[in-house]
Amino acid sequence: MDEFDRRLIALLRADSRTPAAALARALKVSRGTVQNRIDRLLARGIIQGFTIRTRPEAEAGRVRAIMSIAIEGERTGAVVKALRGFPEVEKVHATNGRWDLVAEIDVESLGEFSRTLDQVREIEGIAATETSILLAPHKA
């Protein structure tokens, strides 16, 4: 991946619906160059998909949280595999420091949130967790 790819990806992160012609103008290259680069990034798995962002009020009732997880012994692989089996767990990140993993949780309600926490805490190999509900984003 070169500097051009990084700039292209940054533009796509800002708005993945930007037409190739508009990307080409912004990058000062031809539309074909942009399309070829996107195709290559997709084929290599660097770009794994495109997504949407919704207005916060469109999902105002959802409960989102970050769960920090400490793992017993050498069970990281099994714990990650189990976490990926939960549709409520959006992402799992390896981390350093006191916690071994961080899981992003997204559910419909507090009841579903509570059930999810209980189920995750039952996964064999999890020694401890600490969970923080995400409140309103900062507008700074």
**For the domain 3-43, what is the CATH code?**
1.10.10.10
Q: By percentage, how much of the chain surpasses pLDDT 90? A: 73
- Res 61: pLDDT: 73
Average pLDDT estimate for 64-84: 94
* 38 in Cβ contact with 8 (< 8 Å): yes
Global pTM reads 0.62
Count of alpha carbons within 13 Å of 71, Cβ hemisphere only? 19
For the chain, give every residue range classified as CATH 3.30.70.920.
Answer: 56-133
Q: What is the DSSP letter of 132?
A: E
**Contact (Cβ atoms closer than 8 angstroms) between residue 1 and residue 33:** no
**Residue for token pair 């992003």:** 104
What is the dotted CATH code of the domain comprising 56-133? 3.30.70.920
**For residue 43, how many other CB atoms are within 10 A of its CB?**
9
